[in-house]
Amino acid sequence: MMKACLFDLDGVLVDTAIYHFRAWGELAQKYNFEFTEEHNEKLKGVSRMDSLEILMKLGSFGLNHEQKLKEASWKNEIYCSYIETLTPNDILPGVKEFLDALKVSGIGIALGSASKNAPSILERLEITSYFDAIIDGNQVSNAKPDPEVFLKGAEQLGVAPSDCIVFEDAEAGVEAAIRGGMKCVGVGSPEVLARADMVISNFNELSLDILITKMDREVA
């Protein structure tokens, strides 16, 4: 039985992935290597510090702990300068209508994101009030595919993981949902999100009735 929906942020509710890509790209330039879109796929759903570790391997450079903190902070400042331009018009298609339907139906809504900037992004999009729980990168110690962020969301909602559906655009996020014992809707490419229980291109393709029917079939 579906009692709660847990949403990733970047690529699901709003497309801020391009801002992460640009910010990490500027860091890559400092260390004289090209950061590609293919590289960026490896960072989806991954925490800032773990993303930096991936970049260090890609660029074959090393940093001590203090330098890592400094560079991660520098990258975040660049990213924040981009997200300051966000408005409610940047919410992805169909998202607000789907959140409205969940609210009317009394289904719990939580955010489960690795982003430490999640609260400020929700405020800029003017959708904070939809969420009964917000779990972000400031509250978890383990990055996806570890299910910690989603399990904490379910706990705060007072709902069993088996009664939750996760919405994710990243392979690591889908894996986190599976490890947490939750159903998952992938938002994006069926090839990348093949392990999700269903995949949509965007929320214009999904209604609450369609979701419930699909998940009932999965359970059956």
SS3 string, 81-149, reads HHHCCCCHHHECCCHHHHHHHHHHHCCEEEEECCCCCHHHHHHHHCCHHHCCEEECCCCCCCCCCCCHH
Same domain, 116 and 196: yes
The pLDDT score that the predictor gives to residue 114 is 86
Is the per-residue pLDDT at 219 higher than 70?
no
Element spanning 164, H or E: strand 164-168
Do residues 39 and 142 make contact, with C-beta atoms less than 8 angstroms apart? Answer: no
Q: How many CA atoms lie within 13 A of 5 on its CB side?
A: 25
pLDDT at 220 > cutoff 60: no
- Tell me the pTM: 0.84
pLDDT given for residue 27 in this prediction: 97
End residue of a domain, out of 64, 83, 102:
83
| Mean pLDDT within 20-35 | 96
Closest CA to 85 of 22, 130, 176, 148: 22
65 & 113 share domain: no
Report the CATH number that the domain containing residue 65 is assigned in CATH.
1.10.150.240
139 neighbors 119 (Cβ within 8 angstroms): no
Are 107 and 75 in a shared domain? Answer: no
For residue range 62-84, what is the model confidence (pLDDT) as tens digits? Answer: 999 999 999 999 999 999 999 99
71 plus 159 within the same structural domain: no
Residues marked as catalytic: 8, 10
* Closest C-alpha to 111, from 146, 85, 137, 77: 137
Same domain, 31 and 104: no
Q: What pLDDT does 71 receive?
A: 97
Residue 177 maps to which CATH number? Answer: 3.40.50.1000
List pLDDT tens digits, range 82-132: 999 999 999 999 999 999 999 999 999 999 998 888 999 999 999 999 999
| Domain tally, the chain | 2
pLDDT of residue 139 exceeding 60, the answer is yes
Range of the structural domain that residue 43 is part of:
17-83
Predicted local distance difference test score (pLDDT) of residue 143: 86
